[in-house]
Amino acid sequence: MKEDIGALYDKKLHCNICEHVYSSKKLRSRAIRVAESHNDFYKEYKNPLHNPLLYEVYVCDQCGFASTDNFTAIQKQEIKTRFHEEVTHKWHSQSFDGERTYEKAINTYKLAILTAKKTEQPEIVVAGVCLKLSWLYRYLDDEANTRRFLTYATKAYETSYNIGDFKATEMTELTLMFILGESHRQLGNRDLAITYFSKIIQHKNKHLEPAIVARAREQWQETRQKVESK
Which residue, 120, 146, 169, sits at the end of a domain? 169
pTM check: above 0.85: yes
Q: Per-residue pLDDT tens for 152-189?
A: 999 999 999 999 999 999 999 999 999 999 999 999 99
Residue 35 has pLDDT above 60, yes or no: yes
Whether residue 43 is found in the same domain as residue 16: yes
Q: Per-residue pLDDT tens for 206-219?
A: 999 999 999 999 99
Whether residue 181 is found in the same domain as residue 135: no
Domain that holds residue 228: 172-230
Phi/psi at 109 (5° precision): -70, -40
Q: Which helix (H) or strand (E) holds 148?
A: helix 143-163
Average pLDDT over residues 59-85: 97
Whether residue 112 is found in the same domain as residue 80: yes
Average pLDDT over residues 20-28: 97
Q: What per-residue confidence (pLDDT) applies to 230? A: 66
Q: What is the DSSP letter of 8?
A: E
Give the angle 27-33-38 at the CA atoms, nearest 5°: 115
Q: What per-residue confidence (pLDDT) applies to 125? A: 99
Whether residue 54 is found in the same domain as residue 156: yes
Q: What per-residue confidence (pLDDT) applies to 152? A: 99
Average pLDDT over residues 39-51: 97
Q: What per-residue confidence (pLDDT) applies to 5? A: 56
Q: Per-residue pLDDT tens for 121-134?
A: 999 999 999 999 99
- Rounded to an integer, what distance in angstroms lies between the CA atom of residue 147 and that of residue 188? 11
Alpha helices in 29-142 (DSSP H): 77-86, 102-118, 123-139
Whether residue 139 is found in the same domain as residue 180: no
Whether residue 159 is found in the same domain as residue 197: no
Whether residue 38 is found in the same domain as residue 126: yes
Per-residue confidence at 93, pLDDT binned at 50, 70, 90? confident
74-78, 92-96, 183-187: the lowest-pLDDT one: 92-96
Which residue, 146, 169, 192, sits at the end of a domain? 169
Distances (CA, A) of 209 to 39, 137, 165, 213, 223: 15, 30, 20, 6, 21
Torsion sign across C-alpha atoms 221, 226, 229, 230: negative
Exposure string of 196-217, with b = 16+ CB inside 10 Å and e = fewer, is bbbbbeebeebeebeebbebbe
Number of domains, the chain? 2
Whether residue 216 is found in the same domain as residue 160: no
Which residue, 120, 138, 169, sits at the end of a domain? 169
Q: What is the DSSP letter of 71?
A: S
Helix (H, G, I), strand (E, B) or coil at 10: strand
Q: Per-residue pLDDT tens for 56-70?
A: 999 999 999 999 999
